[in-house]
Amino acid sequence: MTEPAYPAVTRRGFLKTGALAAAAPLLADVPLASAQSPTRNVNKVHDFQTSADVAKAEQEGEIVYYGHDGEQGIATLLDAFRKDFPKIKTSYVRLQTGALYAKITAERSAGRFGVDVLQLSDISPAIDFQKKGGWEQYMSPEYAAYKPEYQSTPAGYYGLPGVSFSGISYNRTKVKPEQAPKTWKDINNPAFKDGISAKLATSGMQHAQWYILRKMYGNDFWQEFAKQRPKGFDARAQLFDRLAKGEDRVCALAEYAGYTLYQDKGAEIEFVAPPEGMPAIAIYIGVVNKAPHPEAAKLFVDWALSRRGQLVYQNQKILLYGSLRPDAGPMPTGKRLADFKLLFPTDWTDYVASHPVFVKEWNSIMGL
Amino acid sequence: MLVGGLAAVLVLYPIAYLVQASLSVGDPQARPPEAYGLDNYAGLGRYAHIFGNTLLVAALATALAVVVGFTMGWILSRTNVPGRAAFEQLMALPYYVTPLMGALAWALIASPSSGFVNQIWRALGGDGHLVDINTPWGIAWVMALFEGSVAFVMIGAVMKSMDPAMEEASQVLGAGRARTMLRITLPLVLPGVLGAAVFVFAEMLGSFSAALVLGLPNRFYVVTTAMYQLVSQYPPRFPTAAAMGVSLFAVMFAMVWIYRRIVSAGTYVTITGKAFRPRAMDVGSMRWPFLGVCVAYLTVAVILPVLTVTYASFQHLTSAFPRAANFTLVNYQTALALDAVRSALGNSLLLGLATASVGVLLMGFLSWLIYRSRLPGAGVIEYLVMFPQAVPRLVFAFGMLWAWLIFPIPIYGTLWLLLIAYLTVFLPLGLRTISGVILQIDRSLEESAQMCGATWGYRLRTVTMPLLKPGLIAAWLLLFIASVRELGASILLMGPKAKVITPAIVESWFSTSTELTAAMALLQTLAVVAALVLLFAVARRAVQQGGE
């Protein structure tokens, strides 16, 4: 891996701006009453704290989880929870964030409330869900381990169980050393025309990358990128699968988690952390309002945000989300989030407002 | 009337929601729509290239599938090619291979950089690539092989029900084999061929997996892959996707209209009161080239893809050149540990059984209603039941999602909803397969039985059903396999406790690796084959015991 040539910088942008706290204006129309949350007893289970009634949760005996991660990732997460709470069965629905959010909102608008826990990979639907009263406000005792900016506004609607980030990756056998990309501007090198890939999705990480690099290099940056005739794919696994097999020479949105998986397989690929920094996004988890198994849902969210759950989110390579908990320890690669220069959007109102422009431009860039 | 009404409800209820969504011009996520208009249709012009791509690959794939289906159907039904019976059984195999597995296999074989053929080509000193599967031709090739194999089953069922006396008369009068095939066989099986062509074309319009796996690497979108992106993105653009889907109705109506015009213009009866025994023509030394055609087809459609996927499923990172360190069992360990494989596979097989059994009854009765009853409006029912074929199942699933979500009986999220969905989306498949045979049966046979005093039920049991048997068996098989490998409708309609296998495999392709996906697809195929072998063994035993 090519390391940045300067001391590692932390999540400065994120912290400086108060990150999610800056999303408060977006939630101006959320009822004030919802800012208050009933106080509940806190119990210790295993090595984490919960305000859920564990006996009742076990009596409920089930959790229905809706998530965006891959089948294998969700199975890993739920299996780990089931090991800790064998009396609670788990089931799940997995879809990409857009389709997942459409499904849950359609179900709720029809009066069907079958979901306990929801995890999303984009702040826009998370905020929209909050506006629609979709999250239950639950003050997980584990929030105490997170800075206020890593919580919803007001607190208690959702938490941030992890962070994902992206650099550039290339195939060593297809890109000569002197041509290897070093900065973000290098993804527009004409040598990579017809041989560069990115994500087709118009949410999450790809939106963050588009927004941050557009701010950094101007509106023309992505128009230049369009001339490369990039190939779009839905998930990081596809991007790295193709990169590893030499179908693409460079991946312009190379998630670190995907890189480590394919590096372990022996793929001849390199990861570049550009000196400008790497676009990053958080994922969002919360208890769903009118959940059929409310206590089990709370227990799960507490577990997910606890150090115990974070070890799964961070250490299982199929997930590999960097933890925002200070006590989380390093990732399996030996790195901590603080070892990378991560770039988060600094103006969340502007970020969310930019989404329609992004969708239009990105679809056009990808030939859709 | 009741069955016709039921079919109409199954189809029209979700379509009403789909049309409503296509006219929504307010917030694309709002249900019901905030405002109505035609803006979504007016905006389709910007997707003209995608419609063009779709029609191109659908036409190429249909032509290929029908030519292959007819050729293979003729060779195996009407000639004395060696190993005919065995080949006939083997011909169903491409249909067992899911389109995703076929597309994955051909991507591994013929991708420009990592395709095995091209790796070997470069290792031998070649430059660049020898073949490229990521082209419209490549997509059409894979679609025809794995989704067009239904054409063989449909055409073959018709050919089997054809009295060979006419072909023999032609030959006695001096016509050669080729002339007999073109002037006698082809016109007689025309309804079956046309039915298959209409059906396959519609199937190709809604094809998803091949275009997804092979089209995206070349920025080549068809309607289904574009719609998939539109509804998967945030915010999902349902109205645009629904308008794209609904606009395909026009294409389908045109196809059904053409089919009905041709069918009503002539008579295609080959099964009359005169007894006949299907006999194969002696094609002399041409038997061996025909055998070569059969072997070649099975090689590209089954042997090569299955071997490729099997090889990939035991690899960490697939390469044409094996290395001991690259072999692993981890993909199978992971696949078998996933709930998606264990419970979902069981659910898929159960649903396949239920859909095929209920479907054959429902669709058999509908076919009789449309082509045999003198019920007013029977023709309208045919148009109605072809609707699901006109719109890609992924979009149709949204109509069903909205429709069944608010349905007062709580079937949403259960296997019951998937059963209803499968019966709805596979109405055209069952109807086309069975009606191709019904059209060949002379009404006079039933009328003779009626004149002899046979009741309606007795006529059905002793005359119509035995003659329909090949069509019914073909329909059952097709429905079973189509259900087990169904993707588009299942993605959105399956609930957390009612999962099926194919969406999990596609999802695996998105989010894990080609190798794990290969293992899952292979397990699915093996399970389908095992289930069918078991079913046939049980059925054969039951028949033998009944005869004793």
Average pLDDT, chain B: 83
Q: Which of A49-63, B181-195, B280-294, B455-469 has the highest mean pLDDT?
A: A49-63
Same domain, A151 and A101: yes
Instruction: Tell me what pLDDT residue B441 has.
Output: 75
The 10s digit of each residue's pLDDT in B449-460 is 888 888 877 887
What ipTM is given for this predicted complex? Answer: 0.80
pLDDT at A28 over 50: no
Q: Is residue A21 part of a domain?
A: no
Same domain, A105 and A183: no
Structure tokens at A39: 């106080």
Of B219, B491, B495, the CB nearest to A231: B219
Task: Please give the tally of structural domains in chain A.
Answer: 2
The 10s digit of each residue's pLDDT in A121-149 is 988 899 999 999 999 999 999 999 998 88
The 10s digit of each residue's pLDDT in B391-409 is 777 777 878 888 888 777 7
Distance, CA of B284 to chain centre: 34
Please name the residue of chain A whose CA is at the shortest distance from the CA of residue B413: A114
Same domain, A172 and A156: no
- Determine if the pTM surpasses 0.90: no
Inter-helix orientation angle A97-109/B223-232, to 10°: 70
Our CA angle for B112, B113, B115, nearest 5°, is 70
Residue B545: pLDDT band by 50, 70, 90 thresholds?
A: low
Q: Is A49 helix (H, G, I), strand (E, B) or coil?
A: strand
Question: CA torsion sign, A168 to A174 to A176 to A179?
Answer: negative
d(CA A61, CA A57): 6
Same domain, A136 and A78: yes
pLDDT at A30 over 50: no
Same domain, A299 and A157: yes
pLDDT at A119 over 90: yes
- Distances in Å between the Cα of A293 and the Cα atoms of A64, A83, A178, B12, B119 are 8, 19, 57, 36, 54
Residue from B159, B444, B437, B157 nearest B273 by CA: B444
The 10s digit of each residue's pLDDT in A288-300 is 999 999 999 999 9
How many Cα atoms are found within 13 Å in the side-chain-facing hemisphere of A193?
Answer: 6
Domains of chain B: 2-547 (1.10.3720.10)
Q: What is the CATH number of the domain that holds A243?
A: 3.40.190.10
Q: What percent of chain A has pLDDT over 70?
A: 89
d(CA B446, CA A180): 77
More confident residue, B489 or A198: A198
The C-alpha R_g of chain A, in whole angstroms, comes to: 20
Distance, CA of B455 to chain centre: 36
Q: Is residue A177 part of a domain?
A: yes
Same domain, A59 and A155: yes
Same domain, A159 and A296: yes
Instruction: Kindly report the three-state secondary structure assignment for every residue of A118-155.
Output: EEECCHHHHHHHHHCCCECCCCCHHHHHCCHHHECCCC
Same domain, A238 and A357: yes
Same domain, A202 and A301: no
Instruction: Tell me what pLDDT residue A203 has.
Output: 78
Residues of B in contact with A93 (CB under 8 A): 494-496
Q: Contact, A239 vs A254, CB < 8 A?
A: yes
Contact A103 B401 (CB under 8 A): yes
Please name the residue of chain A whose CA is at the shortest distance from the CA of residue B334: A72
Instruction: Tell me what pLDDT residue B131 has.
Output: 93
- How is residue A273 annotated by DSSP? -
Please report the residues numbered 328 through 357 in chain A whose beta carbons come closer than 8 angstroms to any beta carbon of chain B.
none
The 10s digit of each residue's pLDDT in B182-222 is 787 777 777 778 878 887 887 788 788 899 899 999 899 99
- How is residue A93 annotated by DSSP? E
Residues of B in contact with A101 (CB under 8 A): 234-236
Pairing of strands A117-120, A278-287: antiparallel
Q: Is residue A136 part of a domain?
A: yes
Please name the residue of chain B whose CA is at the shortest distance from the CA of residue A202: B233
Same domain, A154 and A289: yes
Q: Is B27 helix (H, G, I), strand (E, B) or coil?
A: coil
The dihedral region occupied by B187, where left means phi > 0, alpha psi between -120 and 50, and beta the remainder, is alpha
The helix (H) or strand (E) run that includes residue B189 is none
Same domain, A209 and A357: yes
Of B236, B495, B510, the CB nearest to A98: B236
Residue from A340, A341, A342, A321 nearest A331 by CA: A321
More confident residue, A18 or A250: A250
Q: Is residue A24 part of a domain?
A: no
Instruction: Tell me what pLDDT residue A33 has.
Output: 40
Residue A18: pLDDT band by 50, 70, 90 thresholds?
A: very low
Domain of A228, in residue numbers: 164-280+353-365
Taking residues B93-118, report their average pLDDT. 88
Residue from B309, B312, B308, B314 nearest B332 by CA: B314
B73 by Cβ neighbours in 10 Å (0-12 / 13-18 / 19+) ranks as buried
d(CA B379, CA B371): 8
Distance, CA of B200 to chain centre: 7
pLDDT at B435 over 70: yes
Instruction: Tell me what pLDDT residue A35 has.
Output: 42
Of A125, A262, A363, the CB nearest to B234: A125
pLDDT at B538 over 90: no
Average pLDDT, chain A: 87
